[in-house]
Amino acid sequence: MNTVLKPRFTADDYLQWESGQSEKHEYLAGEVSAMAGARREHVVVSLNIAAAFKQALRGGCQTYIADMKLRVEQADAFFYPGVMVSCSAQDHRAGLYLSEPKLIVEVLSDATAAFDRGGKFAAYRSLPSLQEYVIVDIADRRVECFRRTADNGWLLQDYIGEQVCQFTSIGVSMALVEVFEDVVVEGGDAVG
């Protein structure tokens, strides 16, 4: 999240106000923040993951990209995750926002990394439907999968190098080379 625009919105005020805005804004406990535009590599990685999920998930689960809002009622929040997967019939009928994702992916940027790992992950953990939270670190070529355990804790699995990511909550595997395909690194060379 970036600059706070107007403090003390209600969730309903936010939804009404944002419907008339040309840019996206996230909402957390009454505060609204404008979202900065994404860098090319951020968009490429998000698209790579979303495309793989869409291709693999034919049937009950659907993949959504960054233009779909997520409501986290327990945290009084609305976010725009990079990629979401929901298997909820209620979400598949939703108009403005989802509320029961099974998996959420956030691609880190310098501006959002601390919040994505901290406050946003804390809010996401309050979603009973969420089984897996994935953080993609482009700079380190790393994917971190946090999986909900039977006792409602979270277990971290790191993927680096030539590994294959296992997105266990949705039964999808994806090689890291596919996650970072077409991402330009320092010096102008593409990965993948």
Residue 172 has pLDDT above 90, yes or no: yes
The residue among 187, 185, 184, 163 whose CA lies nearest residue 175 is 163
The correct answer on CATH 3.10.20.30 for the domain covering 38-191 is no
Average pLDDT along the chain: 91
Residues 77-130 have pLDDT tens digits of 999 999 999 999 999 999 999 999 999 999 998 888 888 899 999 999 999 999
Whether the predicted pLDDT of 191 surpasses 90: no
Q: What is the pLDDT of residue 3?
A: 54
CB-count burial class (<10 Å; 0-12, 13-18, 19+) for 92: middle
> Radius of gyration over alpha carbons of the chain, in Å?
16
What pLDDT is recorded for position 171? 96
Tell me what pLDDT residue 101 has. 98
What is the separation of C-alpha 126 from the centre of its chain, rounded to a whole number of angstroms? 15
Helix, strand, coil proportions of the chain in percent (round to 5)?
A: 25, 35, 40
pLDDT, residue 187, reads 54
pLDDT (tens digit per residue) in 35-74: 877 789 999 999 999 999 999 998 889 999 989 999 999 9
Burial (0-12, 13-18, 19+ Cβ within 10 Å), 120: buried
> What 3-state DSSP class applies to 25?
strand
Q: What is the pTM of this model?
A: 0.91
Burial status of residue 113 (CB atoms within 10 A of its CB: 0-12, 13-18, 19 or more):
middle
The whole-number pLDDT of residue 48 equals 98
CATH 3.90.1570.10 domain range(s) in the chain: 38-191
Which of 84, 41, 48 is CA-nearest to residue 65?
Answer: 84
6 pLDDT higher than 60: no
If DSSP codes are grouped into helix, strand and coil, which group holds residue 98? strand
HEC readout, 154-186: EEEEEEECCCEEEECCCCEEEEHHHHCCCEECC
Q: What is the bridge-based pairing of β-strands 132-137 and 101-107?
A: parallel
pLDDT at residue 188 tops 70: no
